[in-house]
Structure 1
Amino acid sequence: MERQYETIYEAIGGAPVLRKLVEAFYPKVQAHPLLGPLFPDNIMPVMEKQYMFLTQFFGGPSLYSDQYGHPMMRARHMPFPITPERAEAWLSCMSKALEEVGLEPQLRQFVLERLKGPAHHFVNTENSN
């Protein structure tokens, strides 16, 4: 009988897998020509915030809110020119990271679908100039 999970967080393997996912994701982001320039050289604080946010977003402990308050992610991303192309590039990097950490295809697709809405919600400009 297939195990039923209460949250995406549990389904993907909790904290250890989420940590690996963030560690696999950010090198791809930094190397991407559309995304890399948006991020600071010291990516560690960004990675930690992403880990905390995704933990909470996927149904785990409320790490992000406990430390930083309500996520307000759209507002936090407003200073950066987020184009539709950048949203898709972000999702592509995440897709590769999900595959790299070994999530099975159906779960990878489910996680990506869950992230598509927020990724496109952050779009705030049509061109990257």
Structure 2
Amino acid sequence: MTTPTLFEWIGGAAVLRALTEDFYTRVKADTLLAPVFAKMGEDHPAHVAAFIGEVFGGPKVYSEQHGGHPEMIRHHLKRHLTEAQRRRWINLLLDAYEASDAPDDPEFASALVAYLEWGSRLAVMNSQPGANVNEQAPMPQWGWGETGGPYQP
């Protein structure tokens, strides 16, 4: 048996798209995050789903159509994101994940949380004035980490 990618395990693009749409509905209703995303276009959830999908081993849609990791980095420059916003962002995304059709097994959740922690901390660092940013950083590739794959009873 081959180990599926995180993208395959979550259920692919459709599940990620539904998850990000629910998440950004929650963001729009949140007093701390709504101002940060006030100018968000209607295609933003789809772009984020494509980005996460690529990071999780799916098709290279974000790189081919939206500029890859360098473009994602540029979206965060000079945004002055705070730790409180970062934590709320993670909490709302995890709430959307729990409400989604995505698998809720501990191995997948662990990989998801690890990526969200890493990515959100990077976004906050890159958003600060004078940040030393590698705008040509390659697209991250996230996997199962120490577990080696999903639990198989």
Q: TM-score band (shorter)? A: 0.7 to 0.9
The equivalent residue for 1:68 is 66
**How many pairs does the alignment contain?**
123
Aligned counterparts, 1:28-107, within 5 A: 28-40=26-38, 43-72=41-70, 73-102=72-101, 103-106=103-106, 107=108
Give me the whole-angstrom Cα distance separating, in 1, the residues matched to 2:3 and 2:67. Answer: 27
The answer (yes or no) to whether the contact 2:53–2:59 under 8 Å persists in 1 is yes
Amino acid at match of 1:27: T
Scaled by the length of structure 1, the TM-score of the pair is 0.84
Q: Which runs of 5+ in 1 are unaligned?
A: none
What whole-Å deviation, never above 9, does each CA across 1:31-73 have from its counterpart, x for those lacking one? 1111111113564121121121111111100111101223223
Scaled by the length of structure 2, the TM-score of the pair is 0.72
Q: Which runs of 5+ in 2 are unaligned?
A: 129-153
Q: Give 1:81 shift.
A: 2.1
Q: Give 1:116 shift.
A: 0.8
Give me the whole-angstrom Cα distance separating, in 2, the residues matched to 1:44 and 1:59. Answer: 25
Higher helix share: 1
Between structure 1 and structure 2, the one with the greater Rg is 2
Higher RCO (CA-CA < 8 Å; seq separation 6+): 2
Amino acid at match of 1:104: D
RMSD of equivalent CA atoms: 1.9
